[in-house]
Amino acid sequence: MSDTHSQTVSYVRETMLPQAEPPVSNRGAILWLRENLFSGWFNIVLTLVSLYVIYWALAHTLPWVVSGIWNAGSLSECREIRDATLGEGASAACWAVLVDRWQQLMFGFYPSELYWRPVLALVIFLAAIAPVLFAQVPRGALWFTAVSPFVMFWLLWGGSAWFPVAVALGFVLGWAAWRALAPMAGTLVAAIVSAALPIVYWFYTAGPLARELEQVVGIGIEYVPSQDFGGFMLSFIIGIAAIILSLPLGILLALGRQSDLFIINKVSVGFIEIIRGVPLIVWLFTASLLLNYFLPPGTNFDLMLRVIIMVTLFAAAYIAEVVRGGLAALPKGQYEGADSLGLSYWQSMRLIILPQALKISIPGIVNTFIGLFKDTTLVVFIGLFDPIGLSNAIRATTEWNGIYWELFVFIGLLFFICCFSMSRYSLYLEKKLQRGHK
């Protein structure tokens, strides 16, 4: 054994080698490519297939998009320009239809000299929603948020300013009744009275009051009927109104479904299951065909309002299920803890249960909102002019007869931007509300 080591090594390096970069194949872009795209035969096949798919998709769409024609008065003019500049039968989009008709796609048949009103309403909406969405905005701004729906309503439809004021007065009335009665008569009586009083007021007093005030001091702007609403403005109005109204209703339904009270529980379950079991389109047809049967003879109210009501009820049932999931996910100890502190039902819900349950259900709620906003396109089937309805109308004109893809691309892109930003916001909110359980 000793002769194994008898031969000494002729040379041993005494200095350290300078650090060298990894070989070219093991660093930088090449390493990344090797690890992520070409790490095995299956991966290579996948990469090649996806490269081909991307190439195929781009080769079919990119020339069409890039060489699009922006200045033309009609589809035939577009084709003439294309044949003259790009050669016969080349592939080129006719974006000119968007230049020509974008106002219609945005506002429908809203009078063009009044476009500032919906735009201003949108600005007000963005300002009003800011304190709700972002905690950095001062809390005092919430007052503005509370007032903004009435201002927006007035700006969009116009007419006498006293009408939204009279309606808002109902809420003030209910709030005043609650403050006055709650200490005296207890919460149950106060709740019933403060719910019933505004309803009676809206039915019998609000209308005449607004008319009287209008005659004394007339403040009004030009009235725009609902039939003139259209395009993305219509989608936004229906979507936003339904989102705002369906959240509280959905939370109430979820609480009802979790309730121990037999009748309230069964009514909530029945409502939720019936609404969710039937497609929205059937509900919309119900709103347009049947609602008149269910209301007192001679009543006839705005189709857009009916649609908002139906979409709200529909979304509320879905939100109720999402919130119920959040409620069920809370540990039982939270409920028992709230009870042991001696909190009343509403106090424990407001202070302990709902803040946690809603936090869990944020992704689901936002998903429901995204679905709701996309579903506003269904109103085209009952004769409202949403963007898709307007694209049909534009295609029916002589100038733009036969144009499809450009309009679809535009509408799809706008919906994508809205829905995608909503889903990003929900991710942001989830991260922000994370309380470090990871």
Partner 1 sequence: MTTTSEPPKAGFHPSQLIYDTRYRSLTIQVIAFIALMLGLSWLVSNTVANLQALGKDFDFGFLGQRAGYDINQRLVEYDSTSSHARAALVGILNTLLVAVLGCALATVIGVLAGVLRLSKNWLIAKLMAVYVEGFRNIPLLLWILLIFALMTEATPQPRDFREGGDAAMILGDTVAITNRGVFIPAPFWGAGAGILLAVLLLSLVAIFFWRRYAHRTQEQTGRILPIGWGTLGLLLVPVTVAFLALSLTSGRQVQPVLATGASEGMTLADYAGSQQAINACTVPFSTESLNLRRLMRANDLRFNLVPVADGAEAIAAAEAGRCNILSLPASTIAASVPAGAVALSDTITRGNPVEFERPILGGFNFEGGLQLRNSLIALWLALSLYTGAFIAENVRGGILSVSKGQTEAAFALGIKPSRTMRLVILPQALRVIIPPMISQYLNLTKNSSLAIAVGYMDVRSTLGGITINQTGKELEGMLLLGLFYLVTSLVISGAMNVYNSSVKLKER
Residue reference for tokens 């009279």:
166
Q: Is residue 30 at the binding interface for partner 1, with CB under 8 A as the rule?
A: no
Q: Is 36 in the site for partner 1 (CB under 8 A)?
A: yes
Pick from 288, 411, 437, 420: which is nearest to 356 by CA? 437
Type and span of the H or E element at 257: helix 231-258
Q: Does 415 bind partner 1 (CB under 8 A)?
A: yes
How far apart are CB 86 and partner 1 at their closest, in Å? 19
Q: What is the DSSP string of 87-156?
A: -TT-----THHHHHHHHHHHHBTS-GGGTHHHHHHHHHHHHHHHHHH-TTS-GGGHHHHHHHHHHHHHHH
Task: Kindly state the smallest distance separating residue 176's Cβ from partner 1, in Å.
Answer: 22
Calpha distance 94→100 (Å, rounded):
11
The helix or strand, by DSSP H or E, that contains position 216, with its residue range, turns out to be helix 206-216
Q: Which is nearer to partner 1, 212 or 273 (CB)?
A: 273
Q: Kindly indicate which of the ranges 8-16, 142-150, 279-287, 303-311 contains the residues binding partner 1, using the contact rule CB under 8 A.
A: 279-287
Q: Which stretch binds partner 1 (CB under 8 A): 1-9, 106-114, 152-160, 292-300?
A: 292-300
Residue 31: both structure tokens together: 């390493």
Mark 47-76 with x for binding to partner 1 (rule: CB under 8 A) and - for no binding.
x-xxx-xx----------------------
Binding mask 304-343 for partner 1 (x = CB under 8 A): ----------------------------------------
**Stretch in the footprint of partner 1 (CB under 8 A) among 153-161, 197-205, 237-245, 259-267:** 259-267
Residue 286 vs 356, nearer CB to partner 1: 286
> In the window 360-389, what residues touch partner 1 (CB under 8 A)?
370, 374-375, 377-378, 380-381, 388
DSSP-assigned beta bridge partners for residue 220? 160
- Residue 259 has, within 13 A of its CA and on its CB side, a CA count of 19
Q: Indicate left, alpha or beta for 231 from its phi (over 0: left) and psi (-120 to 50: alpha).
A: left
- Answer for which of 24, 30, 281, 351 binds partner 1 (CB under 8 A) is 281
Answer yes or no whether residue 43 interacts with partner 1 by CB under 8 A. Answer: yes
Q: Which residues of 36-72 are buried (b: 16+ CB within 10 A; e: fewer)?
A: eeeeeeeeeeeeeeeeeeeeeeeeeeeebeeebbeeb
In the numeric block, which tokens belong to residue 313? 């009820």
Binding-residue total with partner 1 (CB under 8 A): 59
Residues in the chain: 438
Contact 116, 124 (CB under 8 A): no
Q: Applying CB under 8 A, does 189 fall inside the site for partner 1?
A: yes
Applying CB under 8 A, the residues found at the interface with partner 1 are 35-37, 39, 43, 46-47, 49-51, 53-54, 186, 188-189, 192, 260-264, 267, 273-274, 276-282, 285-286, 289-290, 292-297, 370, 374-375, 377-378, 380-381, 388, 404-405, 408, 411-412, 415-416, 419-420, 423
